[in-house]
A and B are shown apart, each in its own frame.
Chain A
Amino acid sequence: MLKSTTIRSITRLSQLYNAPVTTYRACLASKRFYSPPAAGVKLDDNFSLETHTDIQAAAKAQASARASASGTTPDAVVASGSTAMSHAYQENTGFGTRPIYLDMQATTPTDPRVLDTMLKFYTGLYGNPHSNTHSYGWETNTAVENARAHVAKMINADPKEIIFTSGATESNNMVLKGVPRFYKKTKKHIITTRTEHKCVLEAARAMMKEGFEVTFLNVDDKGLVDLNELEKAIRPDTCLVSVMAVNNEIGVIQPIKEIGALCRKNKIYFHTDAAQAYGKIRMDVNEMNIDLLSISSHKIYGPKGIGAIYVRRRPRVRLEPLLSGGGQERGLRSGTLAPPLVAGFGEAARLMKKEFDSDQAHIKRLSDKLVKGLLSAEHTTLNGSPDHRYPGCINVSFAYVEGESLLMALRDIALSSGSACTSASLEPSYVLHALGKDDALAHSSIRFGIGRFSTEEEVDYVVKAVSDRVKFLRELSPLWEMVQEGIDLNSIKWSGH
């Protein structure tokens, strides 16, 4: 009975696609006796497997949602954007509509080779890697350990020193909370910097509530930590120094090796948040004396939802785990691992090592081109140190242009004015603040991220689009007019206050 209804519904379905019924019946019949060879994925001629995701429809839905919230018609919202900016938009009929992705610090596209590794764990290899009584568990456990080895190799660590977590935020929280809590009887002091990622700053702030003292180091106008200042901040009861390797907003590389040596000399644990640095700059935990290092998978073309923490074994670093449970991952991070994500992460790490030189050369070439193109306009500045930087992260300030309005005008390029965490609020970047930039300049900064899959064509498009629209927006600005007339804006006495 059940069988006949399914066949009937398939018959109806096949009529939709104008296909002869017999083929489906034949197909069903044949499938019952043997599974077809893996390579022969044969599809009916009239059957398309394509599922198209229409981004334009999503954009229109968003516009109408906004319109209904503000009480105007959706057309008016679209029109208000397009009439005001009509000549700032490039008229490129005959081209697609999807924005160029240039926000590689927020996340990166998943590499097809990574996805290929992951798929089998979603289709057949579903065993729990911690089950050691059957082959389902062994299979996934082998894959997990392979991945661990690949992740460790990139930073010259031992595979046993890698603990998988849900991401760099969890890793950072684990360190900032776990290490001081373990040593709380004798040590009460943590050192970090003002330009850290929000999760480090907030975790440090949470520790202040638990009675720890935290020193937030200032950075210079290039974004670098002063080693003398760090040395002065070290106290006998300091237990942890946390400095990020590559800044997520300005791409500045901190002197990790020097800081590591300083911490080792003073017998303090050194943690570095390498979410943006792992696989992108050369790192060696032994050479750099790093005791703890946070890694994120989705910044290296891996899947989202997984990361890792490197915890040194010799000399041993002890920390209190955040989660209590089954004692997986050396007891530091309980909970069943996700083999698809772990395997994808491992493959992503392997590829980062394998493609290191070609990726670096590619990113450097495009980055130089982009920086040269953007800085050729007047009153634009590159934020952060020009020498100690990761070329894939470029933060540029366009004076006399409001950053958010520039981003609105650049809807054909996916960019951000800073960290994705703060992009919802209009508060200016605290990182640029720490560099001593004023609010206006911090507001007018935009971050460009270049990665493995960026192309030269895209960079050319971006340079042209940004310079055109910056010029257009400046022409609207009365401040820009005054600057053009040679009036120093700082000399003006604004009346009324």
Chain B
Amino acid sequence: MPGVTAPTRRQVLSLYKQFIRNSNQFNNYNFREYFLSKTRNTFRENMNQEDPKVLVNLFKEAKNELGVLKRQSVISQMYTFDRLVVEPLQGRRN
């Protein structure tokens, strides 16, 4: 039965990495910071989740969210604005 087996540790870690990478690509400071902290909090919250059913659902949901993040971070790079007064002009890869 495909789809009912819980995601492996490696799959989850790779997903996490992709979340962080795509969040980082937001050009908008507030969105970037929000999605970075949200990603960290959500993954931490579910760190000790054991139930395979819940894990499968979480994984599916997260994959959808990753799609949103990928598209929106690209859009954020297309429509850019001046940096905020709290944002350093240099020192951040972009």
Contact = CB atoms under 8 A, between A and B. Distances in A.
B72 A98 contact: no
Interface stretch (A63-71, A201-209, A216-224, A455-463): A455-463
A349 B77 CA distance: 26
Contacts of A458: 84, 86
A461 B86 contact: yes
Interface stretch (A47-55, A161-169, A423-431): A47-55
B39 to A, nearest CB: 12
Nearest to B35: A112
A24 B76 CA distance: 26
Interface residues of B, number: 30
Contact of B81 (A53, A100, A113): A53
A52 B34 CA distance: 22
Contacts of B38: 358
A112 B72 contact: yes
Nearest to B45: A358
A338 to B, nearest CB: 20
Given A358-B41, A454-B30, A41 B74 contact: yes
Interface string A433-470: 00000000000000000001111011001000000000
A97 B78 contact: no
A95 B91 CA distance: 11
User: Which of A41, A92, A113, A452 has its CB near the most chain B CB atoms (within 10 A)?
Assistant: A113
Contact of A95 (B72, B74, B77, B89): B89
Name A's interface SS.
mixed
Chain A contact patch, size range: 20 to 34
A357 to B, nearest CB: 11
A452 B81 contact: no
B83 A96 contact: yes
A49 B79 CA distance: 8
A98 B85 contact: yes
Interface of A: 41, 49-56, 92, 94-101, 109, 112-113, 115-116, 358, 412-413, 452-455, 457-458, 461
Given A50-B78, A52-B80, A96-B87, 12 more contacts: A41-B74, A51-B80, A53-B80, A55-B81, A97-B83, A100-B85, A112-B26, A358-B38, A358-B41, A453-B33, A453-B34, A455-B29
14 contacts: A53-B79, A53-B80, A55-B82, A94-B88, A96-B86, A100-B85, A112-B69, A112-B75, A113-B72, A116-B71, A358-B38, A455-B30, A455-B86, A458-B84
